[in-house]
Structure 1
């Protein structure tokens, strides 16, 4: 019954996953297990962009490749067939390597990086000047310039938890398992930047992790928010769409989630590895808002709903953080806010 329900939902949301499941109906699917896990641990429906990242692998294929990739003394690495079946960004499936950009790392994370990694980043991208804003912007009727909201990273699915948990977060291991994913130096640099953030020391007041699977991400959110040991579910929030991307938009109603002194918020930002992965962290002194954007002419019709987060204490952020370049102040001199894309998730304990 669960598998039938999942197929029905995806008639609207994910043709790729639907076709794959339909052709493999005789075998249980990883996607249906992932959807079941979500419903057991999360108190709201899975957002469409995350639904599209569910694994298209059957359980049979997952077990087969898990044994090939990780059995003792095995020298097998991910080939074109596996990458296509699993919907990964490697080998022949990953043709458009020019899509790889690093906007998700330098603008959304705060870990203390090495000097070498900072130098590496400086030559790769130009920051979006609208990536960060001050909290004073969040007023009904204000006009704001939104940043680029479209996803620039190749579409990838989550690996099955059993498989993902066995992949170390270091470049030697990833390049061994996915040898053909590094088809250009730019791809290599982006993977290394992701790993640099994942392995960097947390700043003061930060709890961080790099989940390699959907289950690991939900688990980190539950444990960090205090619901890991009981049946308490968490809530996942994200922006509705990319409407208004890189243009002037008008603010309507604003809803703040939580806001109490002890309120915890976990933010998860998409990171680039050959498979779907995230950089998740909790920072102290954080406020979360759902902002309606309305038609600029009528001021009434809601055209989009976007999630915005404001970090009120920047005193322990690295002085090289791009937010300080954009907002023209230094660590501890003001708050820094940014918007969520459709693939970014904010986790809270309740609404």
Structure 2
């Protein structure tokens, strides 16, 4: 079950990258921590098709029956027409949220910005800071270079990730995440456009299946070195300030 949950989390984090890689096999989804050095050039898609919709106000969000038992109604409320595979991922994610805690990991589905911040503060304390990947308008950044100024955001301590599940009236799957380092990474695209990306490095991969995509892509064995990926645009990382 733990391995299945990790795979679900990675799927949510890198869904857009997988799709881009399927169109272009030279495009990366995962990389090693040592590759975040200034001057390193990589082909990677950070851009998601986000329409900029804001989360619902708490009062309205609370009126929506966000539960796996009422999935069709949830999808209708949020104007979603997912593929069968995407619908299955969303349903499984909601079920994970409903179960609350698994082996010490807390999970929560936030349907409003207030509820997301409340969850983060309940786990990390009142003084928290949120980070997300920011991309210059109009940028595609299919090929970019890491610029000087890489900064460590946290070093394996308390950490919460909130993955954006929907674009219309966004819903976020939030969960605590241990054994993880996060970085703020300045990038510059080949066309001169810029981005400030959040990189997530998983420190303990010992339970990962060696045949899974992340380890296959970076060509390492489970539990040997940290495996990293960039946080897709629209997802949010929370850390103590």
Superposition pairs of residues 101-140 of structure 1, within 5 angstroms: 106=11, 108=13, 126=19, 128=21, 129-140=27-38
CA distance in 1, matches of 2:104, 2:77: 38
CA distance in 1, matches of 2:67, 2:224: 35
Match for residue 241 of structure 1 among 119, 135, 151: 135
Distance change in 2, residues 1:168/1:257 (3 Å): same
CA distance in 1, matches of 2:80, 2:188: 43
Q: 1:265 corresponds to which residue?
A: 159
Larger radius of gyration: 1
CA distance in 2, matches of 1:338, 1:274: 25
More strand by share: 2
The answer on 1:323 being equivalent to 2:222 is no
Match for residue 123 of structure 2 among 224, 241, 247: 224
Superposition pairs of residues 1-351 of structure 1, within 5 angstroms: 106=11, 108=13, 126=19, 128=21, 129-145=27-43, 147-153=44-50, 155-176=52-73, 179=76, 186=83, 189-200=85-96, 204=103, 206-225=105-124, 227=125, 232-241=126-135, 243=139, 245-259=141-155, 263-272=157-166, 275-294=169-188, 303-317=194-208, 321-350=212-241
More helix by share: 1
Q: Which has the higher contact order (CA 8 A, sep 6+)?
A: 2
Unaligned runs of 5+ in 1: 1-102, 110-120
Unaligned runs of 5+ in 2: 1-7, 22-26
TM-score by length of 2: 0.74
What is the CA-CA distance between 1:258 and the residue it aligns to?
Answer: 3.4
Given that 1:205 and 1:284 are in contact with CA atoms closer than 8 Å, whether structure 2 keeps it comes out as no
Would you say how many aligned residue pairs link Structure 1 and Structure 2? 222
1:151-174 CA-to-partner distances (Å, cap 9, x unmatched) read: 225554322213323434435424
What is the CA-CA distance between 1:341 and the residue it aligns to?
Answer: 3.2
Q: Name the Cα RMSD after superposition.
A: 3.6
